[in-house]
Structure 1
Amino acid sequence: MSALRTTLLPLTRRAAGLATTTSKRAFSATAAKKGGHSPQYDPPTGWLFGVKPGEKYVNEGWENLYFYGFLGSFVVFGVAYAWKPDTSIQTWALEEARRRLEAEGILEDPDNKKN
């Protein structure tokens, strides 16, 4: 019975659409590898972030760097965005029209105003 089971198992897996460990993946010459290490599942405890009421949450080493890094990058982005030069087409067209009208004498130059 054991020999029959070992010969039929690959056939039933193929028929059910399941991958076998001896088959090769499409587009790859290496065999499929399963994940290693221990399971990364933490069973639920019912407490928010796993901290019981009355206990103080202890920061992990990466949390401060992550928090201040994101906060700092948003501050730098905000400052850079606030003081960026105006490069819109409307501003350029308005200045170009003002220069042309001043060159033709239709509009007075605001720097040459009489006091």
Structure 2
Amino acid sequence: MTPLLRTLAARRAVAAGPSSMMMMKRSFSATLPKKGGHSPQYDPPTGWLFGVKPGEKYVNEGWENLYFYGFLGSFVVFGVAYAWKPDTSIQTWALEEARRRLEAEGILEDPDNKKN
């Protein structure tokens, strides 16, 4: 279909209304798309926080401990890795390079060769 024909078909569909626009988008199916998903999964409100009545003990589900320790553990690992990461900033490199060049020219003394 050429771009001109596509444009004309789109204009005709817009003028005809929204149902023909839908049929234009879904040209391989004669049925309209259904709204929603599987079965209704609505839990009516009970008024209790997390559905636990006062006096009852909350029972953990199987995934909650794994999620809790895995999430906090990953933060600990990230914090340790971030604390000991190497300093790769351009300022640190430039300062070290300037110190090496000044030592090579003899302007700055080598801190390792101090006289006691």
What range is the shorter-chain TM-score in? 0.7 to 0.9
**Please, what TM-score do these two structures have when normalized by structure 2?**
0.72
Segments ≥4 residues shifted beyond 6 Å: none
What SS does the aligned partner of 1:54 have? coil
- Tell me the residue number matched to 1:44: 45
- Tell me the residue number matched to 2:87: 86
For these two proteins, the number of residue pairs brought into alignment is 98
What SS does the aligned partner of 1:111 have? coil
Rounded Cα–Cα distance in structure 2 between residues aligned with 1:91 and 1:42: 58
Q: Does 1:26 align with 2:25?
A: yes
Gaps of 5+ in 1: 1-13
- Tell me the residue number matched to 1:76: 77
Higher mean C-alpha deviation, range 54-63 or range 35-44: 35-44
RMSD, aligned α-carbons: 2.4
Cα shift at 1:65: 1.0
Post-superposition Cα deviations, 1:65-113, rounded to whole Å, max 9, x if no partner, equal 1111100100000000000000001100100000010011000000111
The percent identity for this pair of structures is 86
Cα shift at 1:41: 1.0
Amino acid in structure 1 at the alignment position of 2:102: L
Rounded Cα–Cα distance in structure 2 between residues aligned with 1:108 and 1:28: 81
Alignment CA distance shift 1:43-1:28 (3 Å): farther
Rounded Cα–Cα distance in structure 2 between residues aligned with 1:90 and 1:76: 27
Alignment CA distance shift 1:46-1:108 (3 Å): same
**Please, what TM-score do these two structures have when normalized by structure 1?**
0.73
Cα shift at 1:37: 3.3
What SS does the aligned partner of 2:59 have? coil
Q: Does 1:111 align with 2:112?
A: yes
Rounded Cα–Cα distance in structure 1 between residues aligned with 2:100 and 2:36: 69
Alignment CA distance shift 1:82-1:29 (3 Å): farther
